[in-house]
């Protein structure tokens, strides 16, 4: 009998050997790579301090050489240097809006913590050309002294920064300069007049009268740039204003603190961007109820009072729709929103009422409006 043997039987062992060899080779390569990676990580750990110093030096070089407008197209760029209110919020500084018109930097209000944000956002106070105040509630001016100081000392300014505001701004600026008077003396004595020019200290108050009528007051009137102020409804706080900024065909309106007002609606007509303060009646109602349960009569009264001179997001959305605004950015957020999940309840039906984009502002948010374009772009300079 003849037994047939499969022709492949003689090749089985060599194939297994070859496969086994490749597996061993791959394992050896993996071991070598793991070893090299371990050495690299160990080296990075040993020299982590030196690596961090080199990275820090590169960051310093970049920041000190940078202009606020670096990397941005020509146009209007509106950034929240503070999106909060007097209510404590670890994620939001006091009210502050920075506006870049081309390469020119303007700041509207200066709440607590906003000056640090400006620096972190690449908009150093030394570069601020002018400051504009909407009114004199403490949360809108309690960072102004620091802004004036940093403009002077940080930039070696030879002239005070102009501070525009309705009548009464003289008192605010003068009072802060008095408070910072001793510090002025220390810095000049320590660094010398050539480094810290005495003439650059503080601010130059530039008051303007504002009536209750609809006609805005023009503060800057140039071919490419116009900035105007208009009265808003923040009674009993008076005067109180909002601002219109127009640059190369793009338009931004900043409401300041206000209830829903016809003046805001008129100013915001066909604006690319409306930056409007916002208070949620629903959420402040929860605060009032908690104060009642705790027997805090003073807070009960305050939570009731603040609802009559601020605006609810749904009412703002309706105003923005009537004015044909293209983008709505809410700021001066009341109450604090420690969880992002609270933004939905804060807005209510705002996104159903207004058919454009609605954003609950956070520190660092920037809305860019390139000149010669209809584009609207969002970024965040702190994240």
The pLDDT of residue 296? 97
58: its two tokens: 């590169």
* Catalytic residue set: 139
Burial 108-146 (b: 16+ CB within 10 A, else e): bbbbbbbbbbbeebbbbbbbbebbbbbbbbebbbbbbbb
pLDDT by residue, tens only, the chain of 383 residues: 444 444 444 454 556 555 666 666 777 887 888 878 887 787 777 777 777 777 767 766 666 667 898 999 999 999 999 999 999 898 999 999 999 999 999 999 999 999 999 999 999 999 999 999 999 999 999 999 999 999 999 999 999 999 999 999 999 999 999 999 999 999 999 999 999 999 999 999 999 999 877 789 999 999 999 999 999 999 999 999 999 999 999 999 999 999 999 999 999 999 999 999 999 999 999 999 999 999 999 999 999 999 999 999 999 999 999 999 999 999 999 999 999 999 999 999 999 999 999 999 999 999 999 999 999 999 999 98
Q: Pick from 254, 319, 317: which is nearest to 76 by CA?
A: 254
Do you find a cis peptide bond into 335, omega within 30 degrees of 0?
yes
End-to-end alpha carbon distance in the chain: 84
Report the run of H or E that residue 368 belongs to, with start and end: strand 365-370
**How do strand 358-360 and strand 365-370 relate by DSSP bridges?**
unpaired
User: Is the overall model pTM greater than 0.85, yes or no?
Assistant: yes
Instruction: Tell me the C-alpha distance between 96 and 362, whole Å.
Output: 11
Three-class SS state of 76: strand
Three-class SS state of 236: coil
Domains and CATH numbers, the chain: 67-380 (3.60.15.10)
Spatial contact of 85 and 306, defined as CB atoms under 8 Å apart: no
The backbone region for 364, taken as left when phi is positive above 0, alpha when psi lies in -120 to 50, beta otherwise, is left
- Name the phi and psi angles at 370, rounded to 5: -60, 140
Separation of CA 120 from chain center: 10
């Amino acid at each position: 009998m003849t037994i047939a043997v499969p022709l492949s039987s003689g090749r089985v062992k060599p194939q297994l050997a070859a496969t086994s060899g490749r597996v061993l080779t791959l394992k050896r390569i993996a071991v070598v790579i793991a070893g090299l990676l371990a050495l690299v990580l160990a080296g990075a750990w040993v020299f982590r301090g030196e690596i961090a110093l080199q990275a820090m030096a590169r960051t310093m070089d970049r920041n000190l050489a940078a202009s606020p407008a670096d990397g941005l197209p020509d146009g209007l760029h509106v950034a929240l240097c503070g999106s909060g209110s007097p209510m404590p919020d670890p994620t939001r500084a006091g009210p502050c809006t920075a506006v870049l018109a081309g390469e020119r930097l303007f700041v509207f209000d200066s709440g607590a913590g906003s000056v640090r944000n400006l620096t972190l956002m690449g908009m150093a106070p030394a570069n601020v050309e002018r400051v504009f105040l909407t009114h004199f509630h403490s949360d809108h001016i309690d960072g102004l002294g620091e802004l004036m100081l940093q403009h002077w000392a940080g930039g070696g300014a030879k002239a005070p920064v102009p501070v525009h505001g309705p009548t009464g701004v003289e008192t605010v600026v003068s009072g802060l300069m008095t408070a910072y008077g001793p510090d002025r003396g220390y810095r000049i004595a320590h660094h010398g007049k050539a480094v810290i020019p005495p003439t650059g200290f503080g601010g130059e108050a530039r008051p303007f009268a504002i009536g209750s009528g609809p006609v805005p007051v023009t503060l800057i009137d140039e071919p490419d740039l116009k900035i105007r102020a208009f009265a808003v409804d923040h009674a009993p706080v008076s005067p109180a204003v909002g601002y219109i900024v127009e640059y190369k065909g793009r338009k931004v309106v900043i409401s300041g603190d206000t209830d829903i007002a016809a003046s805001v609606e008129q100013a915001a007509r066909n604006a690319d961007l409306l930056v409007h303060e916002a208070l949620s009646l629903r959420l402040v109602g929860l605060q009032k109820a908690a104060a009642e349960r705790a027997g805090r009569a003073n807070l009960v009264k305050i939570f009731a009072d603040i609802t009559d001179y601020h605006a609810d997001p749904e009412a703002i959305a309706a105003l923005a729709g009537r004015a044909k605004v293209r983008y709505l950015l809410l700021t001066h957020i009341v109450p604090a929103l420690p969880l992002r999940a609270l933004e939905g309840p804060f807005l209510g039906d705002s996104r159903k009422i207004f058919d454009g984009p609605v954003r609950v502002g956070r520190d660092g948010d920037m809305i860019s409006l390139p000149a010669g374009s209809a584009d609207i772009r969002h970024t965040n300079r702190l994240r």
